[in-house]
């Protein structure tokens, strides 16, 4: 489903927890997602996962 197609979402704290879940949900619904987190490794892991989600759409 592409409920958020052509929308951009900025998610802070997206490296884990609720922020990660929100970023994934937005991506699965078609949004372009910009993430930030103080945890660089966590943020990079989420970014890699979001790239895979985007590739499926």
Q: Say how many domains are in the chain.
A: 1
Q: Is residue 3 part of a domain?
A: no
Question: 2 in a domain, yes or no?
Answer: no
- pLDDT for 52 equals 87
In angstroms, rounded to a whole number, what is the distance separating the alpha carbons of residues 19 and 14?
4
Residues 6+ apart with CB under 8 A from 13: 19, 36, 37
Rounded to an integer, what distance in angstroms lies between the CA atom of residue 11 and that of residue 36? 6
Question: How many residues belong to the chain?
Answer: 57
- The reported pTM is 0.88
Residue 39 lies in a domain: yes
Read off the pLDDT band of 1 (50, 70, 90): low
User: Smallest Cα–Cα separation from 28: which of 12, 45, 52?
Assistant: 52
Nearest-CA neighbor of 3 among 25, 30, 22, 23? Answer: 30
Question: 6-57 pLDDT, tens per residue?
Answer: 999 999 999 999 999 999 999 999 999 999 999 999 999 999 999 988 777 7
């Amino acid at each position: 489903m592409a409920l958020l197609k052509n929308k951009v979402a900025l998610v802070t704290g997206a490296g884990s927890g609720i922020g990660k879940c929100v970023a994934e949900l937005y991506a699965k619904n078609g949004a372009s997602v910009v993430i930030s987190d103080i945890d660089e490794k966590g943020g990079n892991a989420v970014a890699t996962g979001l790239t895979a989600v985007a590739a499926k759409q």
